[in-house]
Structure 1
Amino acid sequence: MSQLYPLKFNPIFKEKLWGGQKIKTILGKDLGDLDNCGETWELSGVPGNTSIVSEGVLKGHQLTNLISEYKADLVGSSIYQQFGAEFPLLIKFIDAAKDLSIQVHPDDKLAQKRHNCPGKAEMWYVVQADQAASLINGFKKDSNKEEYLTHLESGQLTSLLHREEVKEGDAFYLPAGRVHTIGKGLLIAEVQQTSDVTYRIYDFDRIDKGGKKRELHTELALDAIDFSKPEQLKSKYETVLNEAIPIVSTPYFSTNKFILDQPKTINRSELDCFKIYIAVGGSGKIGGETIKFGEVILVPACMKQYNIEPDGELELLETYIEL
């Protein structure tokens, strides 16, 4: 077996009805023949959309095959015991040139029952925001099924929902059950459970390329929605140089931010898990592998200590799972 090292992967590009050009113009990725790109799946074990290593001696290998081969050395023993060869997180960049549909994701219990897959808790980090760009994040006040359906059927759903303007660096945790949407003008880095189950609630009466309205999942969504007002909306964190800044800590993943202007040694000897780094500003090296704005690196669980070296200044999101 080849020795493991920090792994980079080929992005998987997804054209969307609401997608734009920022994946190309801001993140510098080649869209090929696509008219737009709504999402890049940067690190994925979703069947049919498995990431492929882009550099080094393992170039061309699929992520799930590598997990089967390296097991705990790649993902950690507790992660491997729970998830096997399925990679438990999905990392994306999302470019919303138009509002996404208002939607909700089921939790683990409901998703397993209906779709035989995990639920979908997620977090958003705002990489770039146009002026006055906004998003929807839950209900303004505690609601219920009856009030919700009345507003949905009368076209007044948005009056029940919390919308707020956002800016670069804002971060949000969205547990399963939270009604939400990303508004136009936002470029988002997303960390989520490995699940592609979305219940579309309202799509602003849009027409797709085939001249049809997209399917809505009104009945499926009803049992998935948490009608209570969220206790916390935006994640609160302090800006500190050269230290791990906690942003999100959940049963599904934890995410820190680093703003580095000098080399830093990372020691994760207590953590039995891989580490994912998303570059949200600048460039540098992680464990000797280059990373630049818009790229993602997977550091294997067996690498407990390694150096991060910024070129000037480097901003990273660091994600892992603590079981």
Structure 2
Amino acid sequence: MKDYSAQPLKLRKNRVWRTYYGGRSIDEWQGASAPEDSSMPEEWIASVVRARNAGREQLVEGLSLVELDGADGPELKQLIEAEPAKFLGERHTAAYGSQTGVLVKALDSAERLTIQAHPDRSTAQRIFSSPFGKTEAWYILGGREIGGELPYILYGFKPGMTREKWEKLFWEQDIEGMIHALHKIPVEPGQVFIVEGGMPHAIGSGCFLIEIQEPTDFTIRVERTTPAGREIPEFMLHQGAGFERMFDCFRYDTYTLEDVLAQFRLSPRTIQESEEYTERSLISYATTPYFALTSLDIRSSCTIRQEDGFSILVVAQGAGSLAWGKECLQVTQGDQLFLPAGVTELQCERIGDEPLQLLRCFPPSVSP
């Protein structure tokens, strides 16, 4: 097989079935001719993780394919597993083997997601025998009004909540009680939220965002039926942990709204600025060691450099060209790329009048 570890790898579109409806904004973002909401509301980017969907186990959903000459190439997972150090870097491979340690998604909700939480690493190890939990973070790309309501999230327990009360709300299926137990927060493009393992939350209707997370699909849901009326199988509630242990996955700390906004809504920070481009840190390793995210707003051009490591690029807006050595690749809004460790330098240039924004996603921090 040809060595692909020294070139950017463009990835095929990779929509995944979920329990909620949405995806029209992703269709529009990717230039689809007939955008619509459906049961495929998520785009999984640079994924080496299979989706956990009860009743669809026979389907291989979630794994990213490399695009070669406009057609389906091999799975990204296969390429990495064949030569992990060349694709991921020596230090990362020493720490994580052939696992990238990160998963990126584009997500668009036409309805509120069911209230949920994800296990932190220690809980995931204890309950699911997984070295990874599912701490995640959201970068809001946009949104739309649905049913007269603007985009929002539900986040964090209000003062007074306890495990006993939360379990009671679940067994009674008191959905309104669950909703009112969490803070409702309007969201706007450009905002960033960190969602640590154990934090109760739900993405509201009308949210279009990029999610970066640990590489698992462990989602503990407390609603037996989605807002649109879809019944959720028991496995999708507790993920095989059982009803007693599923509540171990929630963190029962409580917060005022001011606490939530101060601690978990992040403030982007400018790293570099010139006439050619601005680079901002959206999520840093100081916030979480599990991943990082930066934004490159390119007015004319910039150079991406890597040293013994890989990253993932998402073209959030605009169009451009990416050049390495004597080769060049044109990209446009909605495109997604994996940059193997062998790509040590990449020249990025804007094409056209629209601003070019690249989101660069990084794996877990690895100590030197």
Larger mean CA deviation between 16-25 and 26-35 belongs to 26-35
What is the deviation of 1:14? 2.2
Q: Structure 1 counterpart of 2:244, which letter?
A: E
Measured in 2, the distance between the counterparts of 1:204 and 1:158 equals 14
Instruction: Report what 1:22 is aligned to.
Output: 25
Q: Which residue of the other structure, out of 300, 305, 315, is the alignment partner of 1:267? A: 305
Q: Which residue of the other structure, out of 195, 213, 224, is the alignment partner of 1:192? A: 213
Q: Which runs of 5+ in 2 are unaligned?
A: 51-59
Instruction: Report what 1:248 is aligned to.
Output: 283
Measured in 1, the distance between the counterparts of 2:33 and 2:16 equals 12
What is the deviation of 1:243? 2.8
What is the deviation of 1:121? 1.1
Instruction: Report what 2:222 is aligned to.
Output: 201
CA RMSD after TM alignment: 2.7
Q: Structure 2 counterpart of 1:298, which letter?
A: F
What SS does the aligned partner of 1:50 have? coil
In structure 2, do the counterparts of structure 1 residues 2 and 192 end up closer, same or farther at CA, with 3 Å as the change threshold? same
1:315 equivalent to 2:357? Answer: yes
Q: Which residue of the other structure, out of 157, 168, 177, is the alignment partner of 1:139? A: 157
Measured in 2, the distance between the counterparts of 1:109 and 1:193 equals 13
Whether the 8 Å contact between 1:137 and 1:233 is mirrored in structure 2 is no
Matched residue pairs, number? 319
Instruction: Report what 1:111 is aligned to.
Output: 124
Whether the 8 Å contact between 1:75 and 1:300 is mirrored in structure 2 is yes
TM-score normalised per structure 1? 0.88
Q: Equivalent residues in 2 for 1:34-113 (5 A)?
A: 35-47=38-50, 48=60, 49-56=62-69, 60-113=73-126
Larger mean CA deviation between 24-33 and 67-76 belongs to 24-33
Instruction: Report what 2:268 is aligned to.
Output: 237
Instruction: Report what 1:11 is aligned to.
Output: 13
Instruction: Report what 2:144 is aligned to.
Output: 130
Measured in 1, the distance between the counterparts of 2:168 and 2:185 equals 23
Whether the 8 Å contact between 2:19 and 2:226 is mirrored in structure 1 is no
In structure 2, do the counterparts of structure 1 residues 207 and 318 end up closer, same or farther at CA, with 3 Å as the change threshold? closer
What is the deviation of 1:236? 0.8
What is the deviation of 1:59? 5.7
Q: Which residue of the other structure, out of 293, 297, 305, is the alignment partner of 2:333? A: 293
Percent of residue pairs bearing the same amino acid type: 26
Measured in 2, the distance between the counterparts of 1:18 and 1:69 equals 35
Q: Structure 2 counterpart of 1:78, which letter?
A: R
Whether the 8 Å contact between 1:64 and 1:87 is mirrored in structure 2 is no
1:2 equivalent to 2:3? Answer: yes
Deviations along 1:151-198, one digit per CA (max 9) or x if unpaired, are: 554441222212111111211111111111111111111111110111
